[in-house]
């Protein structure tokens, strides 16, 4: 009986161990320079904001929804309270860039059961200087 209890405890302990799934990589092309990272953090709050943030501040993708949305497309805008809008900033060569026009769309897919947001080639402008960069990317939920 004692052996059966020990075996049951060992089986439960083994079942409780969960393998960490590898994080998906996000990819970014900025003025022809290629970047990939799987150091992305997902943030979801009850207050109505969700985001994907790359650990080294390469990018920040934010939504005005409590969890990452899963619809077809999102309009990129400067910070907006509307759930159909997204806000994306890029950091490149010590400058922060964002979309300034309101006609840029971010496509949505599900890949391996996780959310993916795709940006076609788009011009971003610096928030501190008169510089611009051409950006395209794939932003994956970790």
If you write DSSP's letter for every residue of 57-124 in order, what string do you get? SSEEEEESSSS---SSEEEE-SS-S-TTEEEEEEEETTEEEE--SS--EEEEEEETTEEEEEEEEEEE
- Each residue's pLDDT tens digit, 16-33: 554 566 778 999 999 999
| Position 91 in a domain | yes
**Sign of torsion over alpha carbons 111, 54, 134, 75:** positive
Count: domains in the chain: 1
| Position 17 in a domain | no
| Position 28 in a domain | yes
| Position 15 in a domain | no
| Position 11 in a domain | no
| Position 1 in a domain | no
- Each residue's pLDDT tens digit, 128-142: 999 999 999 999 998
pLDDT category of residue 51 using cuts at 50, 70 and 90: confident
pLDDT category of residue 7 using cuts at 50, 70 and 90: very low
| Position 9 in a domain | no
Q: Mean of the pLDDT values across residues 48-52?
A: 85
Q: Mean of the pLDDT values across residues 97-121?
A: 85
Domain that holds residue 126: 22-140
| Position 135 in a domain | yes
């Amino acid at each position: 009986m004692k052996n059966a209890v020990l075996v049951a405890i060992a089986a439960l302990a083994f079942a409780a161990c969960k393998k960490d799934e590898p994080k998906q990589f996000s990819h970014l092309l900025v003025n022809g320079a290629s970047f990939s990272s799987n150091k992305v953090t997902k943030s979801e709050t009850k207050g109505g904001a969700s985001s994907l943030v790359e650990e080294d501040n390469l990018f920040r993708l934010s939504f005005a929804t409590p969890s990452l949305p899963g619809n077809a497309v999102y309009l990129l805008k400067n910070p907006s309270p509307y759930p159909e809008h997204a806000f994306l900033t890029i950091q490149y060569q010590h400058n922060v860039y964002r979309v300034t026009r309101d006609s840029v769309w971010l496509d949505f897919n599900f890949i391996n059961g996780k959310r993916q947001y795709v940006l076609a080639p788009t011009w971003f402008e610096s928030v501190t200087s008169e510089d611009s960069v051409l950006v395209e990317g794939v932003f994956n939920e970790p």
